[in-house]
Chains A and B, each alone.
Chain A
Amino acid sequence: MSLTTAHSVVAPSANSKRIAGVIIVAYALISIVPLLWIFATSFKTPPDSIAYPPKIVFQPSIEGYCNLFTTRTRQTPEYINSLGPATGFCDETVRKRNMVIAGPSNFLPRFVNSLIIAFGSTFCAVFLGTLSAYGFSRFKVPLADDLLFFILSTRFMPPIAVAIPIYLMYRELGLSDTALGMILLYTAVNVSLAVWLLKGFIDEIPREYEEAAMIDGYTRLQAFWRTVLPQATTGIAATAIFCLIFAWNEYAFAALLTSGTAQTAPPFIPTIIGEGGQDWPAVAAGTTIFLVPILVFTILLRKQLLRGITFGAVRK
């Protein structure tokens, strides 16, 4: 029997590579099926979406997207016939179901709320995280280890465990159902992750860079801005993705603390079900659109993301 270690120098054999490949492909397929199903459902008509056995091949329709972005009222065929010609594809589709478009739905404002809150909180968490990580990395902070442990300890329990106190606090402070309140909350949850991740990245940047800049006539802040930040971009990008994914997907706090003007997309999407029957295509359409920003962001920064995930696992 031969000894193998995590840093085995023996290249994996063709066979083990093949097995690994099969496992990865199988896992990817299993993971992607629900997504594909949602994507397909978003282009089905409501009857097709609940057909049994499920339809794999169907006539695509954008009715789900029409229903997602509009509110509709049921009318008598006589009334509908008395109206002028349909103004667009959605109008036409809706009339076939004896309905007329009453106005835009809340989906777009909720989606915009999600964008503002997720990107806002990500920016705040990464900004604060970078500065404190730099501080911990470069200065002799009294009780630095205890402080870092305290920062980490905020993640020991699921954030939702403190939902009730936060709900009461927010009600007192007038932060309930405000974008500011949600940004503050997600920032607080994410900042510990940001500090720890970024501290690792900044520790890797030799201090000589800032020292050289400071000797050459720059202040510490300028040196940080011009020499540390450009080299920390990989770490900052990786951290930003993690923070963004959390803030974007967060459901529980959003459902508890927002209901109207500041409601984000995750608690809004399920409410679509209730409006005029179980409108699965509209729900699926909302979910599909909801996935797009995070998908784009992740694809753009996938290299940094990989580096962030494997961070610390590979020694240079």
Chain B
Amino acid sequence: MAEIRVQNLRKAFGAFVAVQDSNFVVEDGEFFVMLGPSGCGKTTTLRMIAGLELPTGGQILLGGEDVTMRRARERDIAFVFQLFALYPHMNVRKNIGFPLLAQGMASAEIRSRVEETARLLRIDHLLDKSVSGLAGGDRQRVALGRAIVRRPKCFLMDEPLGTLDTEFRDLMVHELRELHNRIHATTVYVTHDQMEAMSMADKIAVMNHGVIEQFGTPREIYDRPATMFVADFIGSPPMNFLRFGGGLAKGAKEIVVQGAKVSVPEVREDIAPADMALGIRPEHIRFDDASKLRGAIYGTEYLGTTQIVAVETADGIIKARVPAGIPLNPGEQVGLALSSARLSLFEKSSGRAVRTAMYDQAAEARHG
């Protein structure tokens, strides 16, 4: 197992830049997820780490060794493809043993390694079956088996659950994480599904247009999004944005939104007057008639323990997540109270989050 270090990685296809100056470190044994919409460069980054695509610039270090220009087969990594790429002309046993055959391993040893791997994945009863007859989840397990049988330096997975039914997917998310906990293999996992990312990852990189917008733990990314894109991409429903204007002074603890004063985490930088946005997660909104921030209930979505309430304000629809028990009627006027400590402030033009006490505390905690 090894650490993966990506430095200033760049990939251009002609005039189109797929990945721009990527920098991140996946520590040994970490489960790292690259998350982003399709076409954001996450798969290209993964393919460059695998050696299936050569970068235009930058470096990739695997366990401290520069492998940037090395062939895929010389990197000692395993790759799980979205469509699994199980060889249809081989049975399960041969598929799993295929990487070992490349190493010239004795057939008796291949046999025992394949069987050990199959037991680990609970597919030992399928070993002599043809891969074409397998169910989605089992195909996935065979693909995983082919990856782990070689005990490579790291695993790369390209949306491996993308083609599975929702039911299988939840099961496999659980299984994958459990497998990771057992074998502690450095893993890079690419997905566009935030649920998969949040529930499996140790670290997440959120990518958009070839740029890593934020790199951090799922909690950091959810609680303290670095950009409006991340805030909007993560969370279901995503973060709400309320417009406000004017500059911010260092030390400010209050802003004015739609004529209502809202206290926010202490601002730690000066911002010249510009269009700004106040970011707030749906679960950090309460209904409080005393609040001057008001709106009319537009609709509700009942989710069992909570309900998502759409409230029409002067600045568009705001979604709040409140306990399911609160009786609400469409058209009813409500006041919105915001949890001050959890608010984010963004510069609208760049989308960047303003440094506040909330972000600083996190940074201090990380570096302290």
Binding site for B on A (CB under 8 A): 206, 208-209, 211-219, 222, 227, 230-231
Contacts and interface: CB of A to CB of B under 8 A. Distances in A.
A211 B102 contact: no
Given A216-B98, A217-B102, A231-B88, A211 B52 contact: yes
Given A230-B89, A231-B89, A218 B83 contact: no
A215 B78 contact: yes
B81 A212 contact: yes
A214 B73 contact: yes
Contact of B73 (A208, A217, A227, A230): A217
Interface of B: 50-52, 71-73, 75, 77-79, 81-83, 85, 87-89, 98-99, 102-103, 146, 150
A206 to B, nearest CB: 6
20 contacts: A206-B85, A208-B82, A211-B50, A212-B79, A212-B81, A212-B85, A212-B146, A213-B102, A214-B52, A214-B73, A215-B50, A215-B51, A215-B72, A215-B75, A216-B73, A216-B102, A218-B102, A219-B73, A222-B102, A230-B87
The 9 closest A-B pairs by CB, nearest first: A217-B102, A216-B99, A208-B85, A230-B89, A212-B85, A208-B81, A215-B79, A215-B72, A214-B72
B87 A216 contact: no
Contacts of A217: 73, 99, 102-103, 150
A230 B88 CA distance: 9
Contacts of A218: 73, 102
Contacts of B75: 215
Contacts, number: 54
A218 B50 CA distance: 14
A211 B78 CA distance: 11
Given A211-B81, A212-B79, 14 more contacts: A206-B85, A208-B83, A211-B50, A211-B72, A212-B146, A214-B73, A215-B50, A215-B52, A216-B73, A216-B98, A217-B73, A217-B102, A218-B73, A231-B88
B79 A209 contact: no
Contact of A213 (B50, B82, B98): B98
Contact of A209 (B71, B73, B85, B150): B85
Contacts of A206: 83, 85
Contacts of B73: 214-219
Nearest to B80: A212
